[in-house]
Chains A and B, each alone.
Chain A
Amino acid sequence: MRVVIAEDDVLLREGLAGLISRFGHEVVASVGDAAALPDVVREHRPDVVVTDVRMPPGFTDEGLRAAIALRAQSPLPVLVLSQYVEQTYAAELLESGDGAGVGYLLKDRVGEVAEFVDALTRVAAGGTVVGPEVVRQLLRRRRSALQRLTPRELEVLGLIAEGRSNASIARELVVTDAAVAKHIASIFAKLDLPPTSDGHRRVLAVLTYLDA
Chain B
Amino acid sequence: MEFLGSRWPWRALGYLASSALLCGIVVLVAVGIGSLEHVGLRVAAGLAVFGLAVPFVGLFERWRLTWVDTTASRTVTHNTSAPTPTHPASTEAHSRPDRPSRGRSALEWRVAGAGLASLLVLSWIDVIMFGLTVGGPVLLVLTPVVQPPEAIAPGPAVVVAVGSLLLVPAAVYTFTAWAGARGAMLRGLLGGRDAELDEVLRSRARLVDAFEVERRRIERDLHDGAQQRLVALSMRLGLAKLDLPDESPAKEQLALAHEEAKHALNELRELIRGVHTPVLIDRGLPAAVREAAGLSAIPVDVDVVIEQRPATAVEVAAYYAVSESLANIAKHSGAHRASIRARIHAETLTLEIEDDGKGGADPAHGTGLIGLSDRLAVVDGTIAVSSPLGGPTVVRVDIPVT
**Given A12-B231, A141-B293, does the pair A60, B239 have CB atoms closer than 8 Å?**
no
- Is B363 interfacial (CB 8 A cutoff)? no
- Assess whether A25 is interfacial by the CB under 8 Å rule: no
Are A140 and B294 interface neighbours, CB within 8 A? Answer: yes
Which residues does B use to contact A, with CB under 8 Å?
Answer: 220, 223-224, 227-229, 231-232, 234-239, 241-242, 258, 261-262, 265-266, 269, 272-273, 278-279, 281-283, 287, 290-291, 293-297, 299
Q: How far is the CA of A60 from the CA of B281 in the complex (A)?
A: 8
| Structural contact, A87 and B235, CB atoms closer than 8 A | no
Interface locus among A108-116, A124-132, A158-166, A171-179: A108-116
Name the residue on B nearest A62 (C-beta). Answer: B282
Instruction: Report the nearest B residue to A87, measured CB to CB.
Output: B294
A11→B287 CA distance, assembly (Å):
32
Quick one: which of B228, B266, B296, B297 contacts A9, CB cutoff 8 A?
Answer: B228
Contact B261 A111 (CB under 8 A): yes
**Chain A stretch 156-212: residues in CB contact (< 8 A) with chain B:** 212
Given contact pairs A19-B239, A108-B262, A111-B235, A88 touches B224 in the complex (Cβ within 8 A): no
In the complex, what residues of A have CB within 8 A of residue B296's CB?
140
Instruction: Provide the bound-state CA to CA distance between A16 and B228, in Å.
Output: 12
Whether B269 lies near A137 (C-beta < 8 A) is no
Q: Give the interface of A toward B (CB within 8 A).
A: 9, 11-12, 15-16, 18-19, 22, 54, 59-61, 83-84, 86-89, 107-108, 110-114, 137-138, 140-141, 143-144, 212
Can you sample 26 A-B contacts with CB below 8 Å?
A: A9-B224, A11-B228, A11-B229, A12-B232, A12-B235, A15-B236, A16-B235, A54-B278, A61-B282, A61-B283, A83-B223, A83-B227, A84-B269, A87-B290, A88-B287, A88-B291, A89-B279, A108-B234, A111-B234, A111-B237, A111-B238, A113-B241, A113-B242, A114-B242, A138-B294, A141-B294
Question: Which residues on the A side are within 8 Å of B265 (C-beta)?
Answer: 108
B123 to chain A, nearest CB (A): 63
Given the interface pairs A60-B282, A111-B231, A141-B293, the reply to whether A83 lies near B299 with Cβ below 8 Å is no
A86 to B236, CA, bound (A): 26
| Secondary structure type dominating chain B contacts | helix
Asked whether B231 lies within 8 Å of A112 as measured between CB atoms, the reply is: no
B239 touches A22 (CB 8 A): yes
Return the chain A residue nearest B268 by Cβ: A83
Cβ distance A183 to chain B, nearest Cβ, rounded Å: 23
Alpha-carbon separation in the docked complex, A86 to B291 (Å): 7
Cα–Cα, bound, A140→B299 (Å): 8
Using A54-B278, A88-B291 as known contacts, list a sample of 13 further A-B pairs with CB atoms less than 8 Å apart, ordered by residue number in A: A15-B232, A22-B242, A54-B223, A83-B223, A88-B290, A108-B265, A111-B237, A111-B238, A111-B262, A113-B239, A137-B294, A138-B294, A140-B296
Minimum distance in angstroms from A56 CB to a CB of chain B: 10
Give Cα distance in the complex from A47 to B359, angstroms: 56
Residues of B contacting A137 in the complex (Cβ-Cβ under 8 angstroms): 294-295
Query: Measured between alpha carbons, how far is A12 from B237 in the docked complex, in Å?
Result: 13
Given the contacts A54-B278, A83-B223, A108-B262, A140 and B228 also touching, CB distance less than 8 Å:
no
Q: How far is the CA of A97 from the CA of B295 in the complex (A)?
A: 27
**A99 CA to B137 CA in the complex, in Å?**
93
Distance (Å) between the CB of A143 and the closest chain B CB? 4
* B266 surroundings in chain A (CB, below 8 A): 108
Instruction: Report B-chain residues with C-beta under 8 Å of the C-beta of A12.
Output: 228, 231-232, 235
Q: Is the CB of A143 within 8 A of B299?
A: yes
> Which residues from A are CB-within-8-Å of B228?
9, 11-12
What's the minimum C-beta distance from B315 to chain A, rounded to whole angstroms? 14
Chain B residue at minimum C-beta to C-beta distance from A64 = B282
B294:A110 contact, CB within 8 angstroms? no
Across the interface, which residues of B come within 8 angstroms of A108, CB to CB? 231, 234, 262, 265-266
Nearest chain-B residue to A111 (Cβ)? Answer: B234
Task: Give the Cβ gap from A59 to chain B, nearest Cβ, in Å.
Answer: 7
Q: A11-B228, A84-B273 are in contact. Are A19 and B235 (CB under 8 A)?
A: yes
**B238-A110 in contact (CB<8A):** yes
**Closest residue of B by beta carbon distance from A142:** B299
Task: Report whether A110 and B231 are in contact in the complex, using a CB–CB cutoff of 8 Å.
Answer: yes
Chain B residues with CB under 8 Å of A86's CB are 278-279, 291
C-alpha gap A22/B240 in the complex (Å): 12
